[in-house]
Amino acid sequence: MKATAMAHTNIALIKYWGKRDEQLILPSNSSLSITLDQFYTETTVEWTNEVKEDFFVLNGELREDQKVSRFLEVLRKEFKIGLRAVVHSENHVPTAAGLASSASAFAALSVAASTALGREDSKSDLSRLARRGSGSASRSIYGDLAIWQMGERHDGLDSYAVPFESTLTKELAVVVAVVSDKPKKNF
């Protein structure tokens, strides 16, 4: 019960400003993003009963990450399983540099975790699931332009991303100049 998935990061062109529900990660407004084709995360998930705790390896280094741990609990509840996860993730996005590395990370984790169980979740289901790890991850399920719909329901079932079709899609480009690979400072 093992699978690998890749997801690209995205940059919001129209941002969401605040969350109306922190636990379900429901935005206060819809948002629009563009996918970056050069920055991505590749993640392998193995669901197993051979280990007693989850393992998360990022770029070859064993890590303790509360967001990943919480998200794995969300996945277990959603998938109705008691298995533990061994997660290996390679991030090809400068971490904490403002390029939404968590968007590609949680989108790839969602797809790999679902696929490893042989599930055939729709993109909207995967987007809704990825949102629970990182709101922007809902948009990283898709390429090109995507709209994360804020939805109206209190349970979040109508808050997921959809592709945004436009003649502009093939004409838009984003240029990213990485001037430092160090994490940004919090002021």
For 39-95, write each residue's pLDDT tens digit: 999 999 999 999 999 999 999 999 999 999 999 999 999 999 999 999 999 999 876
Q: What is the pLDDT of residue 94?
A: 74
Tell me, yes or no, whether 26 lies in a domain. yes
Indicate if the pLDDT at residue 12 is higher than 70.
yes
Separation between Cα atoms, residue 75 and residue 91, nearest integer Å = 21
Q: 80 exposed, middle or buried (CB, 10 Å; 0-12, 13-18, 19+)?
A: exposed
Q: Dig out the tokens for 170 from the structure.
A: 């093939």
Residue 9: closest CA among 96, 132, 112:
96
Q: What is the pLDDT of residue 187?
A: 63
Separation between Cα atoms, residue 98 and residue 47, nearest integer Å = 31
Q: Dig out the tokens for 99 from the structure.
A: 């390029």
Percent above pLDDT 70 for the chain: 96
Tell me, yes or no, whether 176 lies in a domain. no
Q: What is the pLDDT of residue 95?
A: 67
Length of the chain: 187
Q: What is the pLDDT of residue 101?
A: 87
CATH number, domain of 136, equals 3.30.230.10
Separation between Cα atoms, residue 143 and residue 32, nearest integer Å = 12
Tell me, yes or no, whether 14 lies in a domain. yes
The total of structural domains in the chain comes to: 1
Q: How confident is the model at residue 108 (pLDDT cuts 50, 70, 90)?
A: very high
Domain of residue 18, residue span: 2-163
Residue 67 φ then ψ, to 5°: -65, -40
| Least reliable range by pLDDT among 110-124, 132-146, 156-170 | 156-170
pTM: 0.92
Separation between Cα atoms, residue 42 and residue 37, nearest integer Å = 13
Tell me, yes or no, whether 184 lies in a domain. no
Indicate if the pLDDT at residue 8 is higher than 70.
yes
